[in-house]
Structure 1
Amino acid sequence: MKSLIYLMPVAISLGLAGLGAFIWSLRSGQYEDMDGAAQRILLDDERTQPKDNGAT
């Protein structure tokens, strides 16, 4: 039971640290564009045509 004296503050502080990290991620805009990356991976890249040097 003496170990609870040490474990409870550690558990509460870890929970508060996780909550703080979550709130920070919300405020910094980490969840603004949830579909953008999923859509970008499906789109084709624009292909560039090779330059014609006039050689035939």
Structure 2
Amino acid sequence: MSIIFLLIGISLLVALTFLGAFFWAVRSGQYEDDYTPAVRMLFEEETEPDIPPGGSAA
């Protein structure tokens, strides 16, 4: 029976650790940018053409 109390205590400790990490992330601004991920796929990446070294593109 004592192992159940030990497991409950450990699980509460882990849960409080994750809750604290979540609140720390919110306070530090991890979730502030909610606009960019929605439109990131609309932006085109600028890529340079593949030119072999020492050669011409044609």
Cα-Cα RMSD: 1.9
Query: What residue in structure 2 maps to residue 3 of structure 1?
Result: 3
C-alpha deviations, 1:6-52, integer Å up to 9, x for none? 1011011011001001001001101101221331331124578xxxx
Please list, as runs of the form range in 1=range in 2, the aligned pairs for 1:5-24 lying within 5 A after superposition. 5-24=5-24
Query: What residue in structure 2 maps to residue 38 of structure 1?
Result: 38
What percent of counterpart residues are identical?
Answer: 40
Please give the alpha-carbon distance, in whole angstroms, between the structure 2 residues aligned to 1:21 and 1:44: 34
- Residue 42 of structure 2 aligns to a residue whose secondary structure is coil
* TM-score (norm: length of structure 1): 0.67
Equivalent residues, number: 48
Which ranges of structure 1 fall in alignment gaps of 5 or more residues? 49-56
* TM-score (norm: length of structure 2): 0.65
